[in-house]
Amino acid sequence: MKKVDIFILRTYVGPLIMTFFITLFILLMQFLWLYIDDLVGKGLEWYILLELIFYASSTFVPMALPLAILLSSLMTFGNLGEHYELVALKSSGISLKRLMRPLIILSVLISIFAFLFSDFVLPVANLKFRSLLYDVQHQKLAFKMKEGIFNRDLGEYVLRIGSREDDGEGINDVTIYDHSQKAGNTKLTTAQSGLMQQTPNGNAILFTLYNGVNYEEKLDRQDYRKTRPFQRMEFQEEQIRFEIDNGLNRTNENLFKSSYHMMNLEQLSRSKDSLKISLAKKQKYFKRDIQNRLTQYVHLDSLRLTENEMAVDTQKLVYTSLMFQMDIHLREKAIEKALAACRTAKDNIKYHYLDFEHREEIIRKHSIAYHKKFTLSFACLILFFVGAPLGAIIRKGGLGLPVVMSTLFFVLYYVLSMIGERSSVAGGMDIFFGMWLASMVFLPLGVFLTYKATSDAPLFDSETYKRMFDRLHKLIPFIPKKEDD
């Protein structure tokens, strides 16, 4: 490896790592802002939050990596052009293609890494992230007592306190409903004052109540509905201990493995084939079943028969005309029964139609997830061929214009990707064309920009466009031209 290759790689790797982690941090902040309500106030341990953030960051790599490559390549060649290093290298006989060669090799290696990451690491990260996020979202809020509000965080007990002392432990006007017997409000405890303290290990709440009364309706006797036995017991001091579970209850991860987000290429292919076979069997069964169901609704329409057919089918005509010889009440009942049967058949067809649509959509989502494994790695390579020549053309480095340009191009790429993906999911666009739509648009753009940069074409030179309009004015003289002062 020559010194110029080492110089280019050193210039490129620094911005690549920096922009990658900056992009990852921005996406992570967006995630935290979106799910902040599910994370705050639940007493989660710090390592649980770090684990969730780590898995969430892993799932954002497919979006952060292409943007980092686009921005870093644009910054690298923009800095070289701005400090005239690119001009110096070209004047020494080193072409832009030669300068881009080590970065092209590096981009190919990054693309291979991106493919391996999306096929082996990303499914596991999605599984860990989604299962942990599900458990965090279903975790109960940490136990907090507010004045004058009934608290149901203790499961089978409902508590209420009238007021709280300044020390945080003293409470007044305490009411506790015991629903442990699943019989309604049959046990009630009230107290004038008390203390509410948490045990040192944090797994229980201890209530010490003063000057209170226990009320209980006895339901163990067979004739309690007649006699209504009732017990009332006063106390001066009583302690009640409530166990609380501050730990996170983890769900079995195998319940999430059936989702296409958690599969690699082999698993996606196998699952897709299974879904297609299942859909074909269900469609075949439904076709046979609906034919059997509709035979009982087939009747003869005499208005559509020819004279010969009417002569042959006289028995059917007589049979169908029996309804008009019925009593009016029997006729209405027969019509209502026929209408109900038709509605049942219609609802059955509608249900199966929606079921088939849902199954086909799931199959399409499997195909989309399959193509995404490749579009990620291909995007890393394409966006390099957009950012590197663009930076060499505009010759601006830093975090100013390169950030604006790369953001615009990436937003365009992302919008095209979303349009193709959503259209493919809805079935309005071919899956291959929809998933590769953004790449089909950006590949010619990258080839065009690379050609312009290697041929030193003044693509963003204002003087070039001014001369072009001057020549256009000579060809079309009626175009007004601004006179010089």
How confident is the model over 339-384, as pLDDT tens digits?
887 888 888 889 989 999 999 999 999 999 999 999 988 999 999 9
Checking if the pLDDT of 135 tops 50, the result is: yes
Average pLDDT for 324-341: 75
Q: End of a domain among 368, 401, 417?
A: 368
Quick one: pLDDT at residue 310?
A: 45
CA nearest to 456, candidates 401, 389, 398: 389
Q: What is the mean pLDDT of the chain?
A: 81
Quick one: pLDDT at residue 115?
A: 93
- Quickly list DSSP for 8-31: HHHHHHHHHHHHHHHHHHHHHHHH
Q: End of a domain among 216, 243, 270?
A: 243
Q: Based on the fold, state whether residues 102 and 187 are members of the same structural domain.
A: no
Whether 483 is covered by a domain: the verdict is: no
Q: Model confidence at 224, in pLDDT bands (50, 70, 90)?
A: low
Quick one: pLDDT at residue 252?
A: 80
Whether 146 is covered by a domain: the verdict is: no
Question: What is the tally of structural domains in the chain?
Answer: 3
Q: Based on the fold, state whether residues 360 and 287 are members of the same structural domain.
A: yes
Quick one: pLDDT at residue 467?
A: 66
Q: Model confidence at 430, in pLDDT bands (50, 70, 90)?
A: very high
Checking if the pLDDT of 315 tops 50, the result is: no
Q: End of a domain among 321, 344, 368?
A: 368
Quick one: pLDDT at residue 65?
A: 93
- Quickly list DSSP for 409-460: HHHHHHHHHHHHHHHHHHTSS-HHHHHTHHHHHHHHHHHHHHHHHHTT--TT
Highest mean pLDDT (candidates 36-40, 58-62, 300-304): 58-62
Quick one: pLDDT at residue 480?
A: 55
Percent of the chain with pLDDT over 90: 31
Whether 151 is covered by a domain: the verdict is: no
Q: Model confidence at 419, in pLDDT bands (50, 70, 90)?
A: very high
Average pLDDT for 14-24: 92
Q: Model confidence at 110, in pLDDT bands (50, 70, 90)?
A: very high
Q: Based on the fold, state whether residues 305 and 224 are members of the same structural domain.
A: no
Quick one: pLDDT at residue 305?
A: 45
Question: How many other C-beta atoms can be found within 10 angstroms of the C-beta atom of residue 80?
Answer: 24
Q: Based on the fold, state whether residues 351 and 461 are members of the same structural domain.
A: no
Whether 85 is covered by a domain: the verdict is: yes
Checking if the pLDDT of 101 tops 60, the result is: yes
Q: Based on the fold, state whether residues 21 and 124 are members of the same structural domain.
A: yes
Q: Model confidence at 294, in pLDDT bands (50, 70, 90)?
A: low
Quick one: pLDDT at residue 348?
A: 86
Q: Based on the fold, state whether residues 188 and 276 are members of the same structural domain.
A: no
Would you call 158 helix, strand, or coil by DSSP?
A: strand
Would you call 222 helix, strand, or coil by DSSP?
A: coil
Q: Based on the fold, state whether residues 261 and 226 are members of the same structural domain.
A: no
Q: Based on the fold, state whether residues 352 and 264 are members of the same structural domain.
A: yes
Whether 387 is covered by a domain: the verdict is: yes
Checking if the pLDDT of 323 tops 70, the result is: no
CA nearest to 389, candidates 439, 463, 462, 448: 448
| This model's pTM is above 0.75 | no
Would you call 291 helix, strand, or coil by DSSP?
A: helix
Whether 147 is covered by a domain: the verdict is: no
Q: Based on the fold, state whether residues 348 and 383 are members of the same structural domain.
A: no
Q: Based on the fold, state whether residues 216 and 331 are members of the same structural domain.
A: no
How confident is the model over 183-203, as pLDDT tens digits?
777 888 999 998 888 777 667
Q: Based on the fold, state whether residues 127 and 226 are members of the same structural domain.
A: no
Quick one: pLDDT at residue 301?
A: 46
Q: At what angle do helices 61-82 and 401-426 cross, to 10 degrees?
A: 150
Between 454 and 280, name the one with better pLDDT.
280
Q: Model confidence at 107, in pLDDT bands (50, 70, 90)?
A: very high
Checking if the pLDDT of 316 tops 50, the result is: no
Checking if the pLDDT of 269 tops 90, the result is: yes
Whether 303 is covered by a domain: the verdict is: yes
Whether 485 is covered by a domain: the verdict is: no
Q: Give the domain extent around 319.
A: 256-368
Checking if the pLDDT of 141 tops 60, the result is: no
Q: Based on the fold, state whether residues 263 and 347 are members of the same structural domain.
A: yes
Percent of the chain with pLDDT over 70: 80
